[in-house]
Amino acid sequence: MGKSGEVNTIVITGASSGIGRACALQLDNLGYCVFAGVRSKQAAESLQHGASERLQTVLLDVTDPSSITHAMEFVRGAVGNEGLGALLNNAGIVVAGPLEAMPLDTLRHQFEVNVWGQVAVTQAFLPLIRQAKGRILNMSSISGRIALPMLGPYASSKFALEAMSDALRLEVYDDGIKVILIEP
């Protein structure tokens, strides 16, 4: 338990690089029990090299239901009845190019990672978050507010994530769960 009684455990998706990796290492440095979702053993080894023994990597592909289930079961086994203090849905990709020429399969993949993957992970971990009256943090972007040319696929996925976060915030409010959008 944290200083104010909050559970100091967090799952971070997309922790192999960039913002996710920086968050995982910083929270580990602050004393949190971090479950860092990565998609390869190589990424896990690299992340673990810069972290304390508290940080645990878990293979987690947000587009793979069995990977999500395995990760949730691993975390549930580690946190037990205490539950999960936070989930940081950070995994994401950027698809850029003109919408008029974008193959629909490419657009679908953009949404699979940036939208449906976030929902799937949230649904899987919500019982653990509910136990701890924790929080859900969704990594959006300024592109979730302003769409620019050639970034239509990415911006539309972030607009969708923002709308879903707004709805989820209202749906879980009475359970004491906070839903927070981050727009770097």
pLDDT tens digits along 62-83: 999 999 999 999 999 999 999 9
Q: What pLDDT is stored for residue 5 in this prediction?
A: 54
Give, as one character, the DSSP assignment of residue 94.
-
Considering only 5-19, 38-52, 147-161, which range has the smallest mean pLDDT? 5-19
CB within 8 A of 182, min separation 6: which ones? 137, 138, 139, 140
Q: What is the pLDDT of residue 7?
A: 73
Q: How confident is the model at residue 111 (pLDDT cuts 50, 70, 90)?
A: very high
% of the chain exceeding 90 in pLDDT: 95
Residues annotated as catalytic (active site), given as ranges: 154
Please name the amino acid found at residue 160: A
Query: Is it the case that residue 4 has pLDDT exceeding 60?
Result: no
Residues, the chain: 184
Do the Cβ atoms of 71 and 60 come closer than 8 Å? yes
Confidence of residue 6 (pLDDT cuts 50, 70, 90): low
Give me the residue label for tokens 């975390």. Answer: 75
d(CA 86, CA 75): 12
Give this prediction's pTM.
Answer: 0.95
Structure tokens, 160: 């969708």
Residue 156 has pLDDT above 70, yes or no: yes
Q: How far apart are the first and last CA of the chain?
A: 28
Question: CA 7, CA 50: separation in Å to the nearest integer?
Answer: 24
What is the CA angle 179-183-184, rounded to 5?
135
